[in-house]
Chain A
Amino acid sequence: MTDLDAATREALAELVLTLADDEFVLGFWDSEWTGIAPMLEEDVATSSIAQDEIGHAKAWYELLAELTDDDADRIAYGREPDAYRHAALMNHPRTDWAFTVARRFLYETADSIRLEALSRSSHPGIAGLAAKMRREETYHLLHWSAWMRRLAEGPETRARIVAALDRLRPDAEAIFSPLAGEAALVTAGVLPDGLAALRAAWHERTATELRALGLPVPVDEAPAPTEGRTQRTDDFRWLWGEFTSVARAEPGASW
């Protein structure tokens, strides 16, 4: 992959940063359920899934650090909130359980489509990580699909899941917001399918699953938001303050 030109390498770094930040921020939000999930077994499950996501983020940050001659911890904890590039879906706090399940459903379905494409990447580092992550994410998908089925059944939980999906859907579209330099990544085979194509596949996938659950299927004709990965909220700024607090307390300390 040393033959990539400077512009493509820059786009590659941006792509890996989005992958890392998505997993990192979502992992931190969901780790907030540790100790207060709806039941004990769920406490274990959500915590384990959150740990997986933080682990995936670490692997992406390490790959990025290699590509940009930087330090993975610096990238993860040393940026100002506005420099994070997660999709707007991850700007929201955990809210109630239905909200978390709805976000998870939207994210896991999108992530599985994205990872399938990336496992065919011409970049061996990306392809290897994506292939391994797909195996782990299979468990996540099964888990959150089971929760979707469960919440879709009761009248009150159904109303909550419908409201949460409604609220989150536009921000979930941001997972597939176009990236600067995306065309070059597609040409180089780093990103085997463009984000618009992945988004279309995700629409189809979510429509099938929502229809099977008797839940409303949104119609998404508008293009993905162009600012989908750069807008930050006060909720995220709060979370950022939490997850960087240790790193900021003793800058440069080694652990």
Chain B
Amino acid sequence: MIPHRASAGEPEAAIWAALAEVPDPEIPAISVVDLGVIHRVELADDRSTLRVELLPTFIGCPAIEMMREAIGLRLGALGIAERVEVSLTFAEPWTSDRISAAGRQQLRSSGFAPPPHLRDLGALGELPTLTVVACPYCGSRETTLENPFGPTLCRAIYHCAGCRQPFEAFKPI
């Protein structure tokens, strides 16, 4: 999922390590790398510019500006390039399948059900009501979708019959 480059030299490893320390502002348990929002990292040969392109999870996500700023600050502190440019791109759509396996575990441990894999869902149009999502607290699969819309654009609200609690799930998209 994460576009590691084949020729990752030393500075690139440091860049990715630094990115892995930048949390998602809305769900801080997961990093921007595990969330899969890093589309491309490009360090100019003369090290004048370090360019990072981000794929927004949702177009209207208000957290994207915070991510952009945090990434700029963190990479600026590395001192690898004279200038750090962080931009957004829609060159390809971010999908929930870009969340890494580690990221899915981090979501679960902070009380969010990870999104079902799109490959298991068939057409996107059929998915939200037909999906079984396991409860992140007790693991029960006896859960029901309460609302495909939640407190942020990327989250849906479920209820678990096993432990009788509501919980949130990351939307498949």
Contact = CB atoms under 8 A, between A and B. Distances in A.
Contacts of B94: 132
A128 B90 contact: yes
A58 interface: yes
Nearest to B94: A132
> Mostly helix, strand, loop or mixed at chain A's interface?
helix
Nearest to A60: B59
A55 interface: yes
A138 B93 CA distance: 14
A128 B91 contact: yes
B147 A44 contact: yes
Interface string B81-110: 000000001111111000000000000000
B3 interface: no
Interface of B is mostly: loop
Nearest to B127: A138
Interface stretch (A139-147, A165-173, A213-221): A139-147
Given A132-B93, A142-B129, A55 B59 contact: yes
Contacts of B157: 41, 44
A124 interface: yes
B116 to A, nearest CB: 14
Interface in A59-100: 59
Contact of B60 (A51, A138, A139): A51
B173 interface: yes
Contacts of B125: 138, 141-142
A54 interface: yes
A113 interface: no
A52 B148 contact: no
Interface string B50-72: 00000010111100000000000
Interface residues of A, number: 28
B150 interface: yes
B148 A133 contact: no
A56 B147 CA distance: 22
B91 A124 contact: yes
Contacts of B122: none
B59 A56 contact: yes
Nearest to B92: A128
Interface string A36-55: 00000100110111011111
A179 interface: no
Nearest to A27: B60
A136 interface: yes
Given A142-B128, A142-B129, A55 B58 contact: yes
Interface in A207-252: none
Contacts of A138: 124-125
Contacts of A41: 146-147, 157
Interface of B: 56, 58-61, 89-95, 124-125, 128-129, 146-151, 153, 157, 171, 173
17 contacts: A41-B146, A41-B147, A44-B157, A45-B147, A54-B60, A55-B153, A58-B59, A124-B91, A125-B90, A128-B90, A131-B90, A132-B94, A138-B124, A139-B128, A139-B149, A139-B173, A142-B129
